[in-house]
Amino acid sequence: MPEFTMPSLGADMDEGTLSQWLVRPGDRVSRGDVVAVVETSKSAIEVECFQTGTVDSLLVPEGTTVPVGTPLALIEEGDREKPADGRSGQRAPSPPAVPEHPPVPPRGTTTREDGFVTPLIRRLAGERRVDLGELHGSGAGGRITRADIIRAAGTAAKPVSSDGRTKASPLARKLAAESGIDIAKVPGSGRNGTVRAADVREATQTPSEPPSAQTRSLPSAQEQALPAVGRSRKETDRTGTARLMARSKREIPHFYLSTTIDMGTALDWMRDRNTALPLSERLIPAALMLKAVACAAEEVPELNGHWIDDAFVPARQVRLGVAVALRQGGLVVPALGEAEHRSLPEVMSSLKDLVSRARRGRLRASETADPSITITSLGDQGVECVFGVIYPPQVALVGLGRVIERPAAVNGLLGVRPTLTATLSLDHRAANGATGARFLNCLDRLLQRPEEL
């Protein structure tokens, strides 16, 4: 029977915490369905199933930390055989179990198209007794999000276990105890309102009650000494990043190239295009740059892949990793798949969605697995040039700064042009300077012909 195992959600991941199960034994699942939420040292990630079948059993309880590759559940492929009736001498099938909180279709319930309601949202709505037909989604294209369901559930009663305690994951209880929070007052976003670790972290960042006079009188040194979940989370994030970057600099022989690209043609084309579009559909320079990098990686496949077992293994497609700085101080690198084949509006929309969900801790496992080349951009922070550290087992990283106006000679005349400094960090085991130069020249050429992107 196929096993659903703890996935590797990054080169720096050795273990993960099963934060929440989104399925139960007997549930029917399809390939691509989100079945669990896993917490890594950087963020919480929704994990999809890679088989189609029926959940046979859950092997690991919520709140448990296990190494990568550990079996988490058993999934029986295909449909389970059901006896026709009791005449065969076999025991008649037991009646289907009634869920603890079945979906309640109240009067006036309407049906949403599948494109607007995911299985995860439909399940959450059933558990919270929320009518999907009366909700207006706040997501892209009117999609209903988890936040919409929780907001609609409003002041639902706090679920309690048989012993009268508030339902919460072990990790959530631990974090609440460390931060001095009454877990009974924390609204839960898990199954049946169970309090998750993310709920506790959110409660510590946005306290609902004003500080007491005693707390206000504490000197700043004492305030800094108080336990803070956000701070410990930040330290954990930095530890994971530090471990991976130290490994990269220790094992990968880096060398670096850079070039200056005239962005005048690209920006003029983008401005002309944006004037005819509504504000929500307008492009920004980052979309042009990402599409150009993806196309360059397709044209120079020697840099699009991984160094595995002392050999370069080219990737089957371009999975563009985008370095995203998290608000709590960590760093994640979700992947934008097949960006070279997407239109610029699609790249723009996907980039917004990916960055937003990365910072809210709502990435999926498929979006964190195996980027083939990474781009890091600090132009929005005012940085003119960045030389990045390669994200193993990749062999290249593209760095982009901000567009600045500089004096430049064009056709023998001196003028002021908007320019971009693009850098390339390379693994000398997999590539040499000539290969890197081809990539940067290709990137320059593509940005001079933005209408072809």
Residue 317's φ and ψ, nearest 5 degrees, are -150, 170
Structure-token pair, residue 202: 């959110």
pLDDT bucket at 226, cuts 50 / 70 / 90: very low
Helix/strand/coil percent split, the chain, to 5: 35, 25, 40
**Higher local confidence (pLDDT), 107 or 94:** 94
What pLDDT is attached to residue 385? 93
Q: With 0-12 CB in 10 A as exposed, 13-18 as middle and 19+ as buried, what is 81?
A: exposed
The residue written with tokens 């990790």 in the block is: 171
d(CA 34, CA 433): 43
Structure-token pair, residue 360: 């809210």
Q: How many helices (H) and strands (E) does the chain have?
A: 11, 20
Q: How many CB atoms lie within 10 A of CB 161?
A: 10
Flag the least confident range among 49-58, 205-214, 308-317. Answer: 205-214
Convert the pLDDT of each residue in 124-177 to its tens digit.
777 667 777 777 776 655 667 666 776 676 544 455 554 556 777 767 777 777
Convert the pLDDT of each residue in 340-369 to its tens digit.
999 999 999 888 888 888 887 778 877 877
d(CA 321, CA 337): 9
Convert the pLDDT of each residue in 204-224 to its tens digit.
664 444 434 333 333 333 333
Mean predicted confidence (pLDDT) in 111-117: 47
Contact 289, 299 (CB under 8 A): no
pLDDT bucket at 32, cuts 50 / 70 / 90: confident
Residue 329's φ and ψ, nearest 5 degrees, are 105, -5
Long-range CB contact pairs, 114-120, < 8 A, 24+: 115/141, 115/143, 116/141, 116/142, 116/143, 116/144, 117/143, 117/144, 118/34, 119/33, 119/34, 120/22, 120/34, 120/46, 120/146
Mean pLDDT of the chain: 78
Flag the least confident range among 68-72, 287-291, 293-297. Answer: 68-72
Extract the runs of DSSP E, i.e. beta strands, from 34-81.
34-39, 44-48, 53-58, 64-67, 71-77
Q: What is the percent of the chain where pLDDT is above 70?
A: 73
Please provide the distance, in angstroms rounded to a whole number, between the alpha carbons at the two ends of the chain.
46
What pLDDT is attached to residue 85? 45
What pLDDT is attached to residue 268? 94
pLDDT bucket at 447, cuts 50 / 70 / 90: very high
Extract the runs of DSSP E, i.e. beta strands, from 205-275.
254-262
Mean predicted confidence (pLDDT) in 265-289: 91
pLDDT bucket at 105, cuts 50 / 70 / 90: very low
d(CA 74, CA 1): 7
Q: How many CB atoms lie within 10 A of CB 256?
A: 13
Convert the pLDDT of each residue in 19-31 to its tens digit.
889 888 988 888 8
Structure-token pair, residue 84: 């026709």
What pLDDT is attached to residue 237? 63
Contact 431, 439 (CB under 8 A): no
What pLDDT is attached to residue 132? 76
